[in-house]
Amino acid sequence: MEAVASGSDGASRSQQRVGIAYDERMCRHHTPDDEPHPENPNRIRAIWNKLQAAGITQRCEVLNAKEAEDKYILSVHGKSHVDLIRNISSKQFNSRRNRIASKFNSIYLNEGSSEAAYLAAGSVIEVAKRVAKGELDSAFAIVRPPGHHAEHDEAMGFCLYNNVAIATNFLLNEKELGINKILIVDWDVHHGNGTQKTFWKDPRVLFFSVHRHEFGSFYPASDDGDYTMVGEGPGAGYNINVPWENGQCGDADYLAVWDHILIPVAKQFNPDMILISAGFDAAVGDPLGGCRVTPYGYAMMLKKLMDFARGKIVLALEGGYNVTSISNSALACMEVLLDDKTVAGSTEAYPFESTWRVIQAVRQELKAFWSVLADELPTKLTSQKAHIPQILISSSDSEAEDVEELLQDVIRPLSTLRVDEDHYVLAESASVSWRSVLSKIDIWYATFGSNMWNPRFLCYIEGGQVDGMQKPCSGSMDKSPPKEILWKTFPHRLFFGMESTRMWGLGGVAFLHPESKNEDIVHMCLYKITLEQFNDVLLQENVSSYDMSSPLFDLTSLDCSKEKGSIDLEAVKNGWYHNVVYLGMEQDIPILTMTCIMSDIENFKSGKVPLRAPSEDYANTLIRGLVEGGQLSEEEAMSYIKDAATKPL
């Protein structure tokens, strides 16, 4: 990396020696036909232009990039992945580049992608090395493509190489640098799944990620970001996730997490250096994030971290898709690095109730590893809470116009990332029409598993959890209870399969054979709900990242299910209950259930997916449903479940 500009002399500069890595060549990575996309070259250009206009670049050592060496990248990524990214922009891949990109989750590739990926990783390595050596006090790598989603052998979530993870391994492996413990803080609105997996068993790295999670339904839509994921073996306790239950979290929420989790643990960990996966997509106005962090909030988060590692901090850009928001946020952070002055601004009074709930859950989970988290937070503190507003952005917000412009060009055609229409007003226009229509149509949702117990089913409508469930449900947008409940039997086979599930832990869960047989009988509880609510139940049952700007199951799907008997929903195919089965009519209202597809049945039969009896908690929930529903006695219900669990498919 070569210095290309700097301040005129030491006397006129701030006492802080701050580096900025920026290289226009990273802008050559863009969509193949220049289609609109959130992760585009204007992101880094806007930040660079903002810093120049504010006089920041003149006070820093500004550096152009050089490409990372493969030997450093291979400390994080597999050889096949490195070979692919190194060569993907060459002419030999011209005819198949788009096809290769389509196999990944939320990735595009073009003739400039290889160079940009190597420059991004190389930039973070170089500024990290200079800070470690003491040549710089701190630095900001304005890089793209971002990196924290990239895993060992897989590009995903706009990320090709995991820039921060590569730089972290570089620092730890270069022994002469004297860096033995590193704190990685990931404040991007999405979970840093790739970084987490890289250091899952490594006690030299404390990985901290605060992100929207919503019980695994927000991108990248997995359990990886849950607070129970704490690391393994020697790395147990060195992985800390703070998973938001909802959008709209702002300065007060983030600073509460800093004060009551991150800062105490950082003090106990005592890192030699801090790397920040500095995504600014939790900022006010971001079209994918749906949160409300202000530039003041980012500045305060950074300022609190400056007390550690003698201020040896490297920020590396991750996400952030509103160019106004990311530019203002980056400027606020650079002012902290340069001057360490008192940050001007203020925050809303209190965090959300859900924020306190998450903070307490994280502290409870991690207290065995970090003694500073052992004490209970005082009720006087946690009782100070704000209510979640129904609309995030109004026409009076200064950045709404920028967001609307981006929304028009980018977000509506982008289907792989979720925009939360529950709280994000700009997405409402895309979702309200189908919700309005489907809210007027009733269906019977026929349940055969734990949802037969009414309190359990209401978790999918009202949110929350009952005894035995490992985590709460987010609920439906329409929280109205079922209009009617009745019971019926159907000629289908009930069975139990899978080793474990994220909701119930170890043990099998209930499935319905999609095809009917006269000799079979299954008891089912029917709830009269709207087709809108059925869509929300479908989403929660399958834990998908589908954006809900359009329904999973609409009127056309309903007609198709009536005609064919069932319909496989491609949008949630990663779930186990994406096969919607039509069971006939009751009171001229269609009866629908959801179960696995026929190929899954074959996998259960062959043993590829195990058949397992249910856990005691899960079985008791079914028994309560059957008994309280007046269908069977407790003894009969126990026998019914035992027969379903032991009878061969």
Is the pLDDT at 365 greater than 70? The verdict is yes
pLDDT in tens, 407-464: 333 333 222 333 332 322 223 333 346 888 899 999 999 999 999 999 999 999 999 9
Looking at residue 264, its pLDDT comes to: 98
Looking at residue 69, its pLDDT comes to: 98
Looking at residue 502, its pLDDT comes to: 82
356 contacts: CB under 8 Å, gap ≥ 6: 256, 377, 382, 385
pLDDT in tens, 220-243: 999 999 999 999 999 999 999 999
- Best CA proximity match to 63, nearest among 122, 115, 148: 122
What does the H/E/C string look like for 330-355?
HHHHHHHHHHCCCCCCCCCCCCEHHH
Is the pLDDT at 388 greater than 90? The verdict is no
More confidently predicted of 417 and 205: 205
Is the pLDDT at 166 greater than 90? The verdict is yes
Residues 461, 450, 360, 295, Cα dihedral to 10°: -40
% pLDDT > 70, the chain:
89
β-strand pairing of 182-186 with 505-506:
unpaired
Give the residue numbers marked as catalytic. 149
* CATH T-level topology, domain 18-341+349-373: Arginase; Chain A (3.40.800)
Please tell me the least confidently modeled range out of 6-15, 409-418, 614-623.
409-418
Q: Confidence band (pLDDT; 50, 70, 90) for 369?
A: very high
Average pLDDT estimate for 360-387: 94
Is the pLDDT at 406 greater than 80? The verdict is no
Give long-range contacts, CB 8 A cutoff, 24+ apart: 628-631: 628/453, 628/454, 629/452, 629/454, 629/485, 629/487, 629/525, 630/487, 631/487, 631/523
Residue the block writes with tokens 């995504």: 279
Q: Is the peptide bond before 287 cis (omega within 30 degrees of 0)?
A: no
10 contacts: CB under 8 Å, gap ≥ 6: none
DSSP reduced 3-state for 362: helix
Question: Was domain 435-646 assigned CATH 3.40.140.10?
Answer: no
Measured in degrees and rounded to the nearest 5, phi and psi for residue 506 equal: -65, 145
* Global pTM value: 0.64
Looking at residue 400, its pLDDT comes to: 35
% pLDDT > 90, the chain:
76
Looking at residue 184, its pLDDT comes to: 98
Q: Are 182 and 194 in contact (CB under 8 A)?
A: no
Looking at residue 542, its pLDDT comes to: 87
How many other CB atoms are there within 10 angstroms of residue 196's CB atom?
Answer: 23
Average predicted confidence (pLDDT) for the chain: 89
> Which range has the top average pLDDT, 300-314, 337-351, 408-422, 529-543?
300-314
Looking at residue 572, its pLDDT comes to: 83
For residue 62, the cross-strand partners are 5, 20
Q: Where are the chain's structural domains?
A: 18-341+349-373, 435-646
Question: In this structure, what token pair is assigned to residue 349?
Answer: 């009074």
- Best CA proximity match to 54, nearest among 294, 276, 302, 330: 330
Helix-, strand-, coil-residue percentages of the chain, each rounded to 5: 40, 20, 40
How far apart are alpha carbons 475 and 536 in whole angstroms? 8
pLDDT in tens, 554-582: 988 898 899 899 999 888 887 899 999 99
